Amino acid sequence: MKQVLRFLGWYAAIPPLVECGVILTIILVQIWIFAEHTNVGSYLVAAMIIGGWIARKIKFGEGLKELGLIRMPYLIPPAVAYAIQVIFRHQISTFLHDSHGIKKITITAVVYLSWGIAQQLILNGVFVRCLKSAAVKKDHIPFLAGIIFGTCHLPNPVLVPATLFGGILASYVFLRMEKRNVYVIGIVHGLIGTALLYLLPLSLTHHFSVGSAFIRWKPR
């Protein structure tokens, strides 16, 4: 137990920009190198988000509001959504491809809404929080967070500009919310994502794949 507490204390002392850089690096390595082989990068990111919050909770008494969550139960849905997306991503992709009409649109919307909340937890609960903790000027945080968010969606020609400008706007709104809530922003994220996915041709969106998956994408 002492070793665990010592580790959490060490983790809580990691400079925010280092934490941000490590998580961003893990995400980029996952989508560019390991996407087709393992989900270990996704598991590491989830562990760092949860473990980092526990460490800061113990050492600094940080509340869930810094992650954009109001109470502990609010952490469960995005965590479950993230886990389902990571573990069953191939099955979900196949299922959506084989579905048609209203059924397909409805399922896509549900999947994307949950994924939108999980992504906003990463954007605002991790990147924005780290930049804020590093004493970056408040007016600069949305732009830096938007750039980071857009980088995570390279080289998709739809997602890069959408997440760049959407990330800037989402971060701006999040920082100015009286009660910060990633659910509201995540739902909007999901609705816009679903609309773009069906309004734009697959030859352009590549099913919103990113990294090496975008380059290898082939229409079925």
Regarding predicted confidence, which is higher, 75 or 135? 135
What pLDDT score does 89 carry? 62
User: 75 pLDDT band (50/70/90 cuts)?
Assistant: low
What pLDDT score does 85 carry? 63
What residue segments make up the domains of the chain, in order of their start? 2-216
Widest Cα–Cα separation across the chain: 56
Q: Is the pLDDT of residue 73 over 90?
A: no
What pLDDT score does 152 carry? 95
* pLDDT above 70: percentage of residues in the chain: 73
Dist. CA 148–CA 144, nearest whole Å: 6
Range in 42-56, 87-101, 132-146 the model is least confident about: 87-101
User: 2 pLDDT band (50/70/90 cuts)?
Assistant: low
Contact 189, 174 (CB under 8 A): no
Say whether pTM exceeds 0.75: yes
Mean pLDDT of 2-6: 64
Contacts of 91 (CB under 8 A, 6+ apart): none
Of 13, 8, 20, nearest to 129 (Cα)? 20
pLDDT 10s digits, 122-142: 999 899 999 998 888 999 999
* pLDDT above 90: percentage of residues in the chain: 30
Q: Is the pLDDT of residue 99 over 60?
A: no
Residue 197, phi then psi, degrees to nearest 5: -60, -35
Contact 214, 156 (CB under 8 A): yes
Q: Look over the chain and give the mean of its residue pLDDT values, rounded to a whole number.
A: 81
Range in 19-28, 53-62, 129-138, 140-149 the model is least confident about: 53-62
